Structure 1
Amino acid sequence: MIQWFTKSFEELTNKELYAIMQVRFNVFIVEQNCMAEDLDDYDQKALHLFGVDESGKVVAYTRIFGPGDKYEEAAFGRVLTAKELRGQGAGKELMRRTLEVIAERFGKVPVKISAQSYLLKFYGELGFEQVSEEYDDHGLAHIDMIRP
C-alpha cells in the first residue's frame, strides 16, 4: 500500500527531502549511470508528488511545475518508481495522480515533458504527442512531448 503526498518545497520535512534525493540519486545517477546535475534549482519551484511504502521509503516520485515555471506549459519531470515496484502499475498510478494535481492546481492546460525515448508508448497512452526529434540528454535519448 502506497501513501501519496503532494507538497511544495517549503512543506517538505528534512526527512522527506532526504528520502526524495536518495531515491532520485539511486535511480538517475546509479541505475542509469547518468552523471547529470540533479540539483538544478528547480526543486524550489516545484510541487513534489511522492508515494511512500509501509516502511516509509519513497517508492514513486515526480516534480510538477505550473505554466511558466519551467516551460510555457505546465510540466513534470524526474519521474521514477523504485525498482521493486516496476511493472506493477505504480508508474501509471503516479501519472494518473500527476495529471490530476496539474488539473486541480492549474486547470485544463497543456503539459510538456522531456521524456526518455523508450517511454514514447507509455506517455502516448496518456495523451502525449512527440513534438521534437530525439536528442541526447546526458547520454540518454530523449524526446519532447506535449499533452494538449
Structure 2
Amino acid sequence: MIEWQWLPFDDIPARDWYEVLRQRQQVFILEQTCLYPDIDGLDPHCHHLMAWRTVDGQRVLQASLRVLPPGLKYDEMSIGRVLTTQAARGTGIGRALLDYAMPLVDALYPRDACRIGAQAHLEKFYGGYGFVTVTDPYDEDGIMHIDMLRPASLTS
C-alpha cells in the first residue's frame, strides 16, 4: 500500500525531505551521471508529491515529483524532478505517481497549462497524460530532452 504525501515545501518533515534529496542525488546525479545543481533554489516555492511504502517496518520512498508555480521556471506551471527509486522501478509506481499528481496539479493551478522538460524517451508516457511535444529534442546534461505542454485543465 502506498502512502501519498502532498505538501508545500515548508510542511515537509526534515527526515522525509532528506530522503527525497538523497534519492534525487542517487537517480539524477549518480545513476544518470549528470553533474548539475539539483538543489537549485526552486524547491521552497514548490508543492511536492511523495509516495512511500512500508518495507520491513521501515517507511521507504518509492517516487516523488515537484510542482513549480507559473513564472518560476517557465511561463506556465511545471512538473519536475520526477523520479522513481531504483528499488521501485517496474512496479507501476511511476504511472501511479502521475495518476495521483495530475488531479492535484489541476486543483492547485486550475487555469494554467503545464510545461515539462521531459527526457525524450518518455515522450509516449507523458503523452498519455495529455502532454504534447512543443520543441525539437535538445541535449540537457548529456540526456536528450523535449519540452512538452499540457493545456489548462478543462475541469475548472
Give the TM-score normalised by the residue count of structure 1. 0.95
CA distance in 1: counterparts of 2:22 and 2:50, whole angstroms:
13
CA distance in 1: counterparts of 2:61 and 2:88, whole angstroms:
11
Tell me which amino acid in the other structure corresponds to 1:62: L
Structure 2: unaligned runs, 5 residues or longer: 152-156
Question: Residue deviations 1:51-101, cap 9 Å, x none?
Answer: 111021211000002222321112110001112222221111111122111
1:43 corresponds in structure 2 to 43
**Closer, same or farther: CA 108–88 of 1 in aligned 2, 3 Å:** farther
2:112 corresponds in structure 1 to 109
Report SS of the residue matched to 1:136. Answer: strand
2:78 corresponds in structure 1 to 75
CA distance in 1: counterparts of 2:111 and 2:3, whole angstroms:
26
Report SS of the residue matched to 1:141. Answer: strand
Report SS of the residue matched to 2:6. Answer: strand
CA distance in 2: counterparts of 1:9 and 1:106, whole angstroms:
17
CA distance in 2: counterparts of 1:108 and 1:96, whole angstroms:
19
2:5 corresponds in structure 1 to 5
Structure 1 stretches of 4+ moved >6 Å: none
2:68 corresponds in structure 1 to 65
Cα RMSD for the two superposed structures:
1.1
CA distance in 2: counterparts of 1:75 and 1:100, whole angstroms:
14
Report SS of the residue matched to 2:11. Answer: coil
Query: Which stretch shifts more, 29-38 or 111-120?
Result: 29-38
Percent identity over the alignment is 36
Structure 1: unaligned runs, 5 residues or longer: none
Matches within 5 A, 1:1-148: 1-54=1-54, 55-148=58-151
Query: For this pair of structures, how many residues does the alignment match?
Result: 148
Report SS of the residue matched to 2:122. Answer: helix
Q: Retained in 2: the 8 A contact 1:134–1:142? A: yes
Tell me which amino acid in the other structure corresponds to 2:130: G
Report SS of the residue matched to 1:3. Answer: strand
Aligned-residue offset at 1:109: 2.4
Give the TM-score normalised by the residue count of structure 2. 0.90
Q: Retained in 2: the 8 A contact 1:67–1:73? A: yes
